[in-house]
Amino acid sequence: MQKSKVNMLDIKSRIGKNKEISNLFTLKNQVIVENFFEAKTREDLINIKKYCLDNNLPLLIIGGGSNIAILKEKVNGIVVKNSYKELKIIEENDDEVIISVSSGYPVSLLIAKSLEAGWSGFEYHQGLPGTIGGAIYMNSKWTKPLTYFGDNLIYGYLLDNQAKIKKVSRDYFQFAYDYSILQKTKEILLEGIFKLKKEDKKIIKERALFALNYRKKTQPFGVATCGCFFKNPGNISAGYLIDKAGLKGFSVGDFYISDIHANFIINKGKGKKEDLLKLLSIIKTKVKEKFGVELEEEVIIINN
């Protein structure tokens, strides 16, 4: 048998049907998928994309599932959990290091490695959940000081919509607040190549600890959430507006607005999608009535 046919048979045999995958999302609401596949390697990602093209199936890739809210009974097509984990040093000298990090690599692990090795660039993201793929797709940020995940990217490898690999420079991503071009193109990040500075480990660790402590002081911990649900409209924080609209602690069913940070929506158990939709609508209406501001979700909503 030809190699590509063997690959496709292997891929097909690894697809799970009608699976319940709530545990793969930090919001922990009920999610059933028609087809589920876990990609463990670069080849897996390429082959599952080809499989989807051959079988005309939509593909949703998830990393840490920390910025997605699924608001439908069942997700059709294929959900691909990205577990492709690889970190390689490409080049280094006394001052800098260039690393290739696969898209399924956990951000927490990348930061732990950076702190250990004395690589500066990611330390302020200490405590950011998820994977490199999700963080580049979102251009995830930290505000004290303002740093974006894409800041240190120099180029990346993508899988385009025809399952072809392409190498693109940082400019291609058009990074902005909560934005990268991947949100439009729907291409899949395979690896990101980052340039990091070598610095005193003690100083890098202090910065990471500072960020983590600030996070712990201002955000709820150990709860089922997607973090900040809405984008900050301009220079004002969405959490401040929700708080001042009197909504801290407000709940619909099992979903409630955190008392600690008003932009955090928490699922206290069996949150239903109808309840979340209702809560989102109440938040938007109240904030619009009080401040004339239209809030826009930061969290990726899957509802069609």
Residues 6+ apart with CB under 8 A from 157: 165, 166, 167, 168, 189, 190, 191, 193
- Closest contact distance (angstroms) between CB of 38 and ligand FAD is 13
Q: Which of residues 200-219 bind ligand FAD (CB under 6 A)?
A: none
- Closest contact distance (angstroms) between CB of 209 and ligand FAD is 15
Which is closer to ligand FAD, CB of 65 or CB of 121?
A: 65
User: Which pair of tokens denotes residue 98?
Assistant: 């260039």
68 near ligand FAD (CB under 6 A): yes
Instruction: Report the residue closest to ligand FAD, judged by CB.
Output: 134
59 near ligand FAD (CB under 6 A): no
80 near ligand FAD (CB under 6 A): no
The rounded distance, in Å, linking the Cα atoms of 37 and 195 is 32
Residue 16 pairs with which residues in a beta bridge? 36
CB 256 within 8 A of CB 276: no
Which of 100, 114, 131, 267 forms a contact with ligand FAD (CB under 6 A)? 131
Which of 122, 142, 175, 256 forms a contact with ligand FAD (CB under 6 A)? 142
| Residue 173, CA distances (Å) to 103, 134, 137 in order | 15, 13, 9
Which of 29, 35, 67, 263 forms a contact with ligand FAD (CB under 6 A)? 67
- Closest contact distance (angstroms) between CB of 136 and ligand FAD is 7
225 near ligand FAD (CB under 6 A): yes
133 near ligand FAD (CB under 6 A): yes
Which of 52, 79, 110, 189 forms a contact with ligand FAD (CB under 6 A)? 189
Q: In which order are the strands placed within the sheet that holds 224-228?
A: 224-228, 264-267, 255-257, 251-252
Residue 78 pairs with which residues in a beta bridge? 35, 59
Residue 74 pairs with which residues in a beta bridge? 32
The stretches of the chain forming alpha helices (DSSP H) are: 3-13, 42-54, 107-117, 132-138, 182-185, 201-218, 238-244, 273-291
DSSP 8-state code for residue 187:
P
Span near ligand FAD by CB under 6 A; candidates 88-96, 182-190, 232-240, 274-282? 182-190
Which is closer to ligand FAD, CB of 63 or CB of 286?
A: 63
227 near ligand FAD (CB under 6 A): yes
Span near ligand FAD by CB under 6 A; candidates 88-96, 135-143, 235-243, 254-262? 135-143
276 near ligand FAD (CB under 6 A): no
137 near ligand FAD (CB under 6 A): yes
232 near ligand FAD (CB under 6 A): no
Which of 21, 52, 64, 110 forms a contact with ligand FAD (CB under 6 A)? 64
User: Which pair of tokens denotes residue 273?
Assistant: 């999608």
Task: Give CA angle at 95 (115, 119), nearest 5°.
Answer: 15
Instruction: Look at residues 272, 267, 270, 295 and name the one whose alpha carbon lies nearest to residue 282.
Output: 295
Which of 29, 35, 140, 258 forms a contact with ligand FAD (CB under 6 A)? 140
Which of 29, 33, 52, 65 forms a contact with ligand FAD (CB under 6 A)? 65
The rounded distance, in Å, linking the Cα atoms of 280 and 247 is 11
Q: Which residue has the tokens 């990268």?
A: 180
Which residues bind to ligand FAD, rule: CB under 6 A? Answer: 26, 60-68, 82, 103, 128-131, 133-135, 137-138, 140-142, 182, 188-189, 225-227, 300
